[in-house]
Amino acid sequence: MIKVEALTKRYGGFTAVDDVTFTARPGRVTGFLGPNGAGKSTTMRVMVGLTPPTSGTATVSGRHFADLPNPGLEVGVLLDASAQHAGRTGREILTIAQRTMRLPARRVDEMLDVVSLTDTEASRRVRHYSLGMRQRLGIATALIGDPEVLVLDEPANGLDPAGIRWMRDLLRGYADRGGTVLLSSHLLHEIEVIADDLVVIGNGRIVSQGTKAELLSAAGCFVRAADPQALSAALAAAGISAFPGGDGAVRADADPELVGKVAFSAGLPLLELRPADGAGLEEIFLELTSDTQRDGAAA
Amino acid sequence: MSTSTVDRVAVDAAPAAARVRRPQVVAVELRKMFDTRSGFWLMASIAIASLLATAAVVLWAPDEAVTYSTFATAIGVPMAVILPIVAILSVTSEWSQRSGLTTFTLVPNRGRVIAAKAYCSVAIGVVSMLLAMAIGAVGNLVGPALAGVHRVWDVSVQEALLIVLANVLGLLVGFMLGVVIRSSAGAIVAYFVYSFVLTAMAGLLASTQAWFRDLQPWVDFNYAQTALFDGSMTSTQWAQLGVTSIGWLVVPIAVGIWLVMRSEVK
């Protein structure tokens, strides 16, 4: 379990992380979402003791990271797959982790096997690795101590579709066995597929958090009618807030059943009516972080 | 949350038996100094440079100068450059190559990591000097035979130890610059400024300003070390070495370690 309480990190006058509080629970995958520069990586660095917080605390399994006697056995960390000495081989990087944690030497081969790096690839220097291979090596380093908690910053970056599927299955299985997984991403679809809980952060502040189901049901539904103006008017009259969803569609902040009833009583034939969970997370993400987006939230 | 409490009991039991211990950290840091191509060749260059320096003496030194002290002096020149770089890179690569992200997550006690790097650097410095002196000794077995002169062993054990000490101090200056600057390029440049530019400037100042001439042995660490190469040290010279090392090693290393402990690893 990871517990972040009232965490704040300031750099001079700039507040990178502003009073962030959340919990990543065992048996669940917690997705940490936010636009670039929202404070995800800084929060994660504070969790693992690489960055001193200005105030607040982050604990793993009830203890500060620095107090863990052998952190690698309790927390698997991957913050940046490219942050490795380019002149070391993949196998050597795993061996260093294995020796630091005092694990049996066979763990290195087991991990290479888990992340599907071949012997030839493992004996190549990391300088020659693709980003996807570096991610696999980083995952192997995180998993080698068989920890209870995983902290992964953008682990799907650079993986091919098969790799992304593999990673998803790996993390799902990990959480199902009781592990705590916290992963950040800006790949919304990825998070939507894998996460059980979501923490959305923008400009260093948490803008929303809860289970995926809660957040997605809050997303309402997509509805499309032959006459969008009349539909919007009818929804407004029923007290349902609605936003243009592109392509003549409307996203309504209500469940499909209610929206269908409103349209029916207004005598409006519908072309489409569905829960907004498909593109839902993206909508939520853009809406929640619209104040903090660089490019403005195009609705 | 009762399950997490149960989990923790199980988790706590296992790692307690396998804490990260100091010998592991030292062994891993030593390994890390050899396991990259650049690291390997840096270490190999110690032996290679010693061989080249020895060969140069055998080939080109005038016959009457083919004595062990000539070999020792010739070998000392590359050592004075290579050993500080060994110490610098062991520290700065964690930042310049960003491997510190993993290192300091696996061992959050950064002081322990940095101390391990210091032990390993000093050990490598001492072993390298002994190796270099052995290579020089081989040169002194072969050289005089080829030149047809008498073999002269004109370096005593005490002189040899002082030379080793001088090189270890030079290496520690590299270590100091590594922890203070934490960037490979920056620290290496700083070392050359320290050992060449500052030395030249201090020499110039001493030759033109009388007040500095008397002060120099008490403030110039480089200058205080030169006495180590003269074979014997007076108590005044030891005192000068001690005083200058406070300003040039002890205080900056303390500041550097404080910076390492507090700085953000990115």
- Is the four-CA dihedral A88, A92, A94, A99 of positive or negative sign? negative
B93 or A298, higher pLDDT: B93
Rounded to the nearest 10 degrees, what angle do helices B110-147 and B68-96 cross at?
Answer: 150
- Window from A74-78, A216-220, A222-226, A229-233 with minimum mean pLDDT: A216-220
Q: Are A202 and A291 in contact (CB under 8 A)?
A: yes
pLDDT beyond 60 at B15:
no
Q: What is the pLDDT of residue A259?
A: 87
Interchain CB distance below 8 Å, B105 and A85: no
**How many inter-chain contacts (A to B, CB under 8 Å) are there?**
122
Q: Identify the band that residue A106 occupies on the pLDDT scale cut at 50, 70 and 90.
A: very high
What rounded mean pLDDT belongs to chain B? 90
Same-domain status, A150 and A76? yes
Same-domain status, A195 and A257? no
- Is the four-CA dihedral B96, B99, B103, B106 of positive or negative sign? positive
Test the B interface: residue of A73, A74, A85 with most B CBs within 10 Å = A85
Q: What is the pLDDT of residue A279?
A: 56
pLDDT beyond 60 at A297:
no
Same-domain status, A227 and A155? no
Query: Looking at chain B, which runs of residues are DSSP E strands?
Result: none
Give the tokens for residue A102.
């005092």
Same-domain status, A196 and A241? no
Residue A296 lies in a domain: no
Residues with Cβ within 8 Å of B178's Cβ and at least 6 positions away in sequence, in order, are B87, B88, B89, B90, B91, B92, B187, B256
For residues A94-116, give the mean pLDDT: 96
Same-domain status, A206 and A225? no
pLDDT beyond 80 at A219:
no
Each residue's pLDDT tens digit, B181-224: 999 999 999 999 999 999 999 999 999 998 999 899 999 999 99
Last residue within a domain, chosen from A211, A238, A265: A211
**Using a CB-CB distance cutoff of 8 angstroms, which residues of chain A are in contact with residue B31?**
96, 99
Residue of B nearest to A47 (CA): B105
Is the CB of residue B107 less than 8 Å away from at least one CB of chain A? yes
Interchain CB distance below 8 Å, B32 and A79: no
Residues with Cβ within 8 Å of A236's Cβ and at least 6 positions away in sequence, in order, are A242
Into how many domains does chain A fold? 2
Q: Identify the band that residue A174 occupies on the pLDDT scale cut at 50, 70 and 90.
A: very high
pLDDT beyond 60 at A274:
yes
Residue of B nearest to A180 (CA): B4
Test the A interface: residue of B1, B4, B37, B104 with most A CBs within 10 Å = B4
State the residue range of the domain holding A226.
220-276
pLDDT beyond 80 at B95:
yes
ipTM metric = 0.86
Q: What is the pLDDT of residue A228?
A: 84
Same-domain status, A268 and A178? no
Q: What is the CATH number of the domain that holds A232?
A: 3.30.70
Interchain CB distance below 8 Å, B106 and A65: no
Same-domain status, A166 and A239? no
Same-domain status, A138 and A164? yes
Highest averaged pLDDT of the listed ranges A112-126, A254-268, A269-283, B65-79: A112-126
Each residue's pLDDT tens digit, A122-153: 999 999 999 999 999 999 999 999 999 999 99
Interchain CB distance below 8 Å, A100 and B28: yes
Each residue's pLDDT tens digit, A71-96: 999 999 999 999 999 999 999 999 99
pLDDT beyond 90 at A7:
yes
For residues B94-111, give the mean pLDDT: 95
Q: Which of residues 124-183 of B touch A (CB under 8 A)?
A: none
Residues with Cβ within 8 Å of B120's Cβ and at least 6 positions away in sequence, in order, are B26, B29, B30, B33, B90
Integer CA distances (angstroms), A220 to A245, B18, B171, B251, B252, in order: 12, 51, 66, 63, 61
pLDDT beyond 70 at B6:
no
Q: Are A136 and A166 in contact (CB under 8 A)?
A: no
Last residue within a domain, chosen from A186, A211, A236: A211
Highest averaged pLDDT of the listed ranges A162-166, A286-290, B171-175, B215-219: B171-175
**Using a CB-CB distance cutoff of 8 angstroms, which residues of chain B are in contact with residue A69?**
15-16, 18-20
Interchain CB distance below 8 Å, B108 and A49: yes
The burial of B36, by beta-carbon neighbours within 10 Å (0-12 exposed, 13-18 middle, 19 or more buried), is given as buried
Same-domain status, A58 and A195? yes
Q: Identify the band that residue B13 occupies on the pLDDT scale cut at 50, 70 and 90.
A: very low
Cross-strand bridge partners of residue A58: A4
Q: Are A7 and A43 in contact (CB under 8 A)?
A: yes
The answer, as to whether pTM is greater than 0.90, is: no
Q: What is the CATH number of the domain that holds A8?
A: 3.40.50.300
Residue A263 lies in a domain: yes
Same-domain status, A244 and A264? yes
Q: What is the DSSP letter of A157?
A: T
Instruction: Fill in the amino acid letter for A86.
Output: A
Q: Identify the band that residue B4 occupies on the pLDDT scale cut at 50, 70 and 90.
A: very low
Percent of chain A whose predicted confidence (pLDDT) is above 90: 60
Interchain CB distance below 8 Å, B11 and A50: no
Q: Identify the band that residue A221 occupies on the pLDDT scale cut at 50, 70 and 90.
A: confident
Q: Are B260 and B180 in contact (CB under 8 A)?
A: no
Which of A65, A68, A73 has its CB closest to that of B14?
A73
Interchain CB distance below 8 Å, A25 and B15: no
Q: Identify the band that residue B93 occupies on the pLDDT scale cut at 50, 70 and 90.
A: very high
Same-domain status, A142 and A24? yes
Q: What is the pLDDT of residue A292?
A: 61
Residue of A nearest to B103 (CA): A97
Q: What is the pLDDT of residue A212?
A: 84
For residues B17-45, give the mean pLDDT: 91
Residue A290 lies in a domain: no
